[in-house]
Amino acid sequence: MEPEHDVIILGAGAAGLAASLYTTRAMMNTVLIESLGVGGQLLITDEIENYPGFPEGVKGQELAQMMEEQTTRFGTVIEYTEVEGVEDFDKPVKVVHTDSKTYTAKSVIIASGGSHNKLGVTGEDELAGRGVSYCAVCDGNFFRGQDVVVVGGGDAAMDESFYLSGIVNSVTVIHRRDELRATRVLQERAFNNPKYKWLWSHVVEEFVGNDVMEAARVKDLKSGEVYDYPAAAAFIYVGFHPNSDYLKDLLDMDALGHLYTDIHMRTKLPHIYACGDIRADSTRQLGAAVGDGITAALAAFHDLNG
């Protein structure tokens, strides 16, 4: 059977978009499959200050739109559907099953990135969209002038809380440790901002509210005290997990599900590549995801064309 495409790219985040730009420009018949929105994590990133070429910084959504325009101009077809399973990845015709259609190709580039971890506490699912959020850029405006909390102490928590500080009355960072993990520059920006309050060595035990969120039930890990901390919203940034469930037992991966590749982004199976945040040892940076995508596309081209 002759496959429909030269390459299927799974995920239209920065890595998948960069890969598709190179495969279509190399005249490879490319389909890019995306389940949510083109841009992936870019869509939930406010300001990006460290992507080369933008001295004033760039908004994540704007960059995603530019990347989409650039790749579709060269012929990338983007299909909105969710990959649910794959088949025959060790055979010449690779098969990808989505919730609406089955695709076949000579090669596959896996670029399905990662998703936010949940806290797993009572009220988190019940109040999701009614106060509990994982995306300040998407939902921050609903809480203009109100008091909100941010859970976490890494780069994402600091980046998103800074965005919120321009909208809300106050932003309280709840962190289980007594120091942040975030990069120094992001820490200092937060410490110098009067909108910030800090609950060090605290964890969230529950989100409380009838119809909408009213408080975070927190525990002081040092004193053991549990109390309700009033807040209109909670923005949760407690890490990511790779979106690789649909590949289970097929490719080599680490304990968290990140895929192992060589430096050309080749996995252990022929004509199957992985790039971006889904990759083990990824630096989880935009520039790196773009570089991975380009490397994967070039490897796919060379492997098909000898």
Ligand X SMILES: Cc1cc2nc3c(=O)[nH]c(=O)nc-3n(C[C@H](O)[C@H](O)[C@H](O)COP(=O)(O)OP(=O)(O)OC[C@H]3O[C@@H](n4cnc5c(N)ncnc54)[C@H](O)[C@@H]3O)c2cc1C
Going from the C-alpha of 58 to that of each of 2, 46, 51, 61, 276, the distances in angstroms are 42, 8, 8, 9, 20
Residue 147: closest CA among 175, 168, 165: 168
Binding mask 63-92 for ligand X (x = CB under 6 A): -------------------xx---------
**Residue 139 is a catalytic residue:** yes
Helix (H, G, I), strand (E, B) or coil at 60: helix
Active-site residue (options: 6, 46, 139, 277): 139
Phi, psi of 21 (to 5 degrees): -60, -40
| Of the residues 221, 287, 298, 303, which one makes contact with ligand X according to CB under 6 A | 287
**Residue 135 is a catalytic residue:** yes
| Of the residues 50, 102, 141, 193, which one makes contact with ligand X according to CB under 6 A | 50
Whole-number Å distance between alpha carbons of 155 and 196: 15
Q: Is 297 in the site for ligand X (CB under 6 A)?
A: no
| Of the residues 5, 6, 40, 199, which one makes contact with ligand X according to CB under 6 A | 40
Q: Is 276 in the site for ligand X (CB under 6 A)?
A: yes
Q: Is 8 in the site for ligand X (CB under 6 A)?
A: no
> Of 122 and 285, which CB lies nearer to ligand X in the complex structure?
285
Query: Residue 203: in which H helix or E strand, if any?
Result: strand 202-208
Number of residues that bind ligand X (CB under 6 A): 37
Whether the CA torsion 94, 116, 265, 19 is positive or negative: it is positive
Going from the C-alpha of 166 to that of each of 57, 119, 147, 163, 208, the distances in angstroms are 17, 25, 12, 6, 25
Phi, psi of 156 (to 5 degrees): -65, -40
| Of the residues 27, 36, 93, 185, which one makes contact with ligand X according to CB under 6 A | 36
Binding mask 145-174 for ligand X (x = CB under 6 A): -----------x--xx--------------
Whole-number Å distance between alpha carbons of 198 and 40: 30
CB 12 within 8 Å of CB 40: yes
Q: Is 16 in the site for ligand X (CB under 6 A)?
A: yes
Q: Could you tell me which stretch among 10-18, 143-151, 199-207, 221-229 binds ligand X (CB under 6 A)? A: 10-18
Q: Is 289 in the site for ligand X (CB under 6 A)?
A: yes
Q: Could you tell me which stretch among 86-94, 108-116, 146-154, 175-183 binds ligand X (CB under 6 A)? A: 108-116
Q: Is 242 in the site for ligand X (CB under 6 A)?
A: no
HEC profile for 67-78? HHHHHHHCCCEE
Whole-number Å distance between alpha carbons of 202 and 208: 16
> Of 206 and 277, which CB lies nearer to ligand X in the complex structure?
277
| Of the residues 74, 200, 246, 260, which one makes contact with ligand X according to CB under 6 A | 246
Active-site residue (options: 88, 90, 125, 138): 138
Q: Among the residues of 45-103, which ranges form H helices?
A: 60-73
Site residues for ligand X, 175-234, by CB under 6 A, read none
Q: Is 108 in the site for ligand X (CB under 6 A)?
A: no
Binding site for ligand X (CB under 6 A): 10-16, 33-36, 40-42, 44-45, 48, 50-51, 82-83, 111-114, 156, 159-160, 243, 246, 276-277, 284-287, 289
